[in-house]
Amino acid sequence: METATIDRQFLARPGLDVAPGLLGSVLRHTTPEGTVAVRLTEVEAYQGADDPGSHAFRGRTPRNDVMFGPAGHLYVYFTYGMHFCANVVCDVDGTATAVLLRAGEVVEGEELAAARRPSARSSREYARGPARLTTTLGLGRADNGADLCTPGSPTQLLPGELVDPARIRTGPRVGVSGPGGDGVAFPWRFWLDGEPTVSAYRPHVPKRRK
C-alpha cells in the first residue's frame, strides 16, 4: 500500500506559510542503492522576486526554472562547486518561492546513510546541514524537478507526526544578509527546538573589498 504524500495544495501557498508546516514531515528518496528517509527539523523560506537572497530575485533562468512552479516539485542546485542543495517549490504556478531543506533526522535507511556519510561522527550529523542532507538522501542534479506529491515517485514528501507549535523557532537565514547586512530583516529560518540535528548557525560575513 502506497503511503499518502503531502497534498500539493498545502504547498501551493507562500513559502513563509509553508516552511514551518514542513517541520516534522519526511522526505523519502529511493535509488538503486536503497531508500533513505529524513524527518525535517530545519528549513528556510525564499520569496522569489521579493527576496534578494533568492535565486529567482533577478528573474527566470535555466538554472532556477523549476522554482517557478508548479508547487510540489524539488529544486536542486549545485553550489560552491562542491555540493547539491534541495528545495521544495511552493506557491502558485509562475511565482518563484521555495523552501530550502536545511537539516533532518534519518528515520529510514540508516545503514545506507552511514555509507554515504562516512565522515559523520554520529547519526545526528548524517543530514545536519543542506549539503549533508542531499548527500545522505542521494539527491543530485538528475533529481531537479522531481515530483514530490505523486504516489510511486522515487522522491516523496510525506506527512509526519504533528509538531507542537511551541517547539518551532525562527531566526535569520544562514549566510544571507538583510538590507542592513546582518540578515535580521529576514528571519525566515525555522527549526524545531531541542533537535540535535539542527545545523549550527553561522551569521553572514560580508566580503571585504581588497
What integer pLDDT is reported at residue 1 of this predicted model?
42
Answer whether 0.85 is exceeded by the pTM. yes
Distance CA 117, CA 207 (A): 31
Give bridge partners of residue 104 from the DSSP assignment: 40
First-to-last alpha carbon distance for the chain, in angstroms, is 60
What integer pLDDT is reported at residue 63 of this predicted model?
80
Backbone angles phi, psi at 86, to 5 degrees: -125, 140
- For residue 167, what is the enclosing H or E element? none
CB contact set of 210 (below 8 Å; sequence gap of 6+): none
pLDDT tens by residue, 139-171:
999 999 999 999 889 999 999 988 999 999 999
Cβ atoms within 10 Å of 82's Cβ, excluding its own: 7
All structural domains of the chain, each given as residue ranges with its CATH number in brackets, are: 8-192 (3.10.300.10)
User: Which mean pLDDT values do the consecutive 10-residue runs of the chain (210 residues) have?
Assistant: 83 96 97 98 88 72 85 91 91 90 98 97 96 97 95 94 94 71 72 94 55
Distance CA 75, CA 63 (A): 9
What integer pLDDT is reported at residue 204 of this predicted model?
54
As a residue count, the chain comes to 210
Question: Do residues 109 and 36 touch, judged by C-beta distance below 8 A?
Answer: yes
| Cis amide leading into 70 (omega within 30) | yes
pLDDT tens by residue, 20-43:
999 999 999 999 999 999 999 999
Question: Do residues 21 and 191 touch, judged by C-beta distance below 8 A?
Answer: no
Distance CA 53, CA 186 (A): 9
